[in-house]
Amino acid sequence: MDIITEYMNKFEAEFNLFGKLGIGGALIGLLLAIVFCFFGYKLVKVFVMIFGVAVGAFLGFALAKLLNFDKSWFLVSIVLGMIIFGVLAFVLYKLGLAVMIGFTAFGIFYAITSRTMQGHATWVIALIFAILVGVATIWAARPIVIVSSSLAGGMGASAILFRDVLSSVPALNPGEVQLVIIAIVGFILAGFGMFIQFKRK
């Protein structure tokens, strides 16, 4: 897990496009989170393909770093990874969906429990939870996708709003926002997202 975390941190540092775009990047991230919260199931195939492309980019990056590719082959490795995994996510849709929802479940569980659980226990339990949710998605896609996308999108939108968007505008900067406020707003958004998605046919 430490190796994966290390490569994820390197990948984020090198390709953090939203961060490099400043307030514009924060607004794009906020918009994507809101769309995921309210339209996660309706646009699930699009999100699965985007997820596949992102995974491919990360794996291509990790392979290039591991094998010490030069700059040209470094980019080739990333682009090939994006194409291959983007196509696989489209062709093997159910598998891609299960992995994406499992990943989402892992993130939600880890975000909620990481402050109360210590050591590798959080990783292990979150991984088991993610696998169970991912497998269950194959048989009960609609309710699981709606709940997970609403939670992930709502919490993500709340975090981006308070930590990135409002803090970038001096007149609107709320100062140090407690995690509990971000969580409350996130759960409210998630609740609305679930209500709208379940109501939509």
185, two tokens: 């707003």
State which amino acid sits at residue 158.
S
**144-157 burial code (b ≥16 CB/10 A, e <16):** bbbbbbbbbbbbbb
**Tell me: the pLDDT tens digits for 5-58?**
554 444 454 555 555 555 666 788 889 999 999 999 999 889 899 888 888 887
Residues 190 and 150: beta-carbon distance below 8 Å: yes
Residues 58 and 11: beta-carbon distance below 8 Å: yes
Helix H, strand E, coil C: the string for 79-106 is: HHHHHHHHHHHHHCHHHHHHHHHHHHHH
**Tell me: the pLDDT tens digits for 113-168?**
766 666 667 778 888 888 899 889 988 889 999 999 999 999 989 888 887 777 66
Residue 168 DSSP label: G
Torsion of CA 16, 20, 26, 32, to 10 degrees: -40
pLDDT of 70 higher than 90:
no
